[in-house]
Amino acid sequence: MKTRKLGTLEVSELGLGCMSISANYGPPADKDQGIKTIRTAYEKGVTFFDTAEVYGPFTNEELVGEALAPFRDEVIIASKFGFDLEGSEGLNSRPEHIKKVVEDSLKRLKTDRIDLYYQHRVDPKVPIEEVAGAMKDLIKEGKILHYGLSEASEKTIRRAHAVQPITAIQSEYSFMERDQEQNGVLKTCQELGIGFVPWGPVGMGYLTGEIVARTNFDLKTDLRAEFSRFTPENLAANMPVVDLLRRFAEKKNATPAQISLAWLLAQKPWIVPIPGTRNIDHLNENLGAKNIQLTPVELRELETGFSKIKVHGGRMSEMHMQAVDQTV
Domain 3-322 bears CATH identifier 3.20.20.100 = yes
pLDDT value, residue 87: 86
pLDDT value, residue 327: 84
SS3 of residue 299 by DSSP: helix
**pLDDT tens figures, 148-161:** 999 999 999 999 99
Catalogue the E-assigned strands of the chain: 3-6, 9-12, 16-17, 48-50, 76-81, 116-119, 147-150, 168-172, 195-199
List the chain residues with pLDDT less than 70: none
- Which value, to the nearest 10 degrees, does the dihedral of the CA atoms of residues 99, 102, 106, 112 take? -50
pLDDT value, residue 88: 87
Q: Are 153 and 327 in contact (CB under 8 A)?
A: yes
The neighbour count for residue 254, using CB atoms within 10 Å, is: 22
Omega of the bond leading into 57 within 30 degrees of 0 (cis): yes
Residue 55 designated active-site: yes
DSSP tag of 310: P
Taking alpha carbons only, the member of 314, 69, 78 closest to residue 195 is 78
Percent of residues, the chain, with pLDDT higher than 90: 97
User: Cα(227)–Cα(53) distance, rounded to whole angstroms?
Assistant: 22
Domain parsing of the chain, residue ranges: 3-322
Angle at which helices 128-141 and 154-163 cross, to 10° = 40
SS3 of residue 19 by DSSP: helix
Phi/psi for 148 (5° steps) reads: -135, 165
Q: Are strands 3-6 and 9-12 parallel, antiparallel or unpaired?
A: antiparallel
Q: Are 263 and 299 in contact (CB under 8 A)?
A: yes
Name the active-site residue from 55, 118, 147, 206: 55
pLDDT value, residue 238: 98
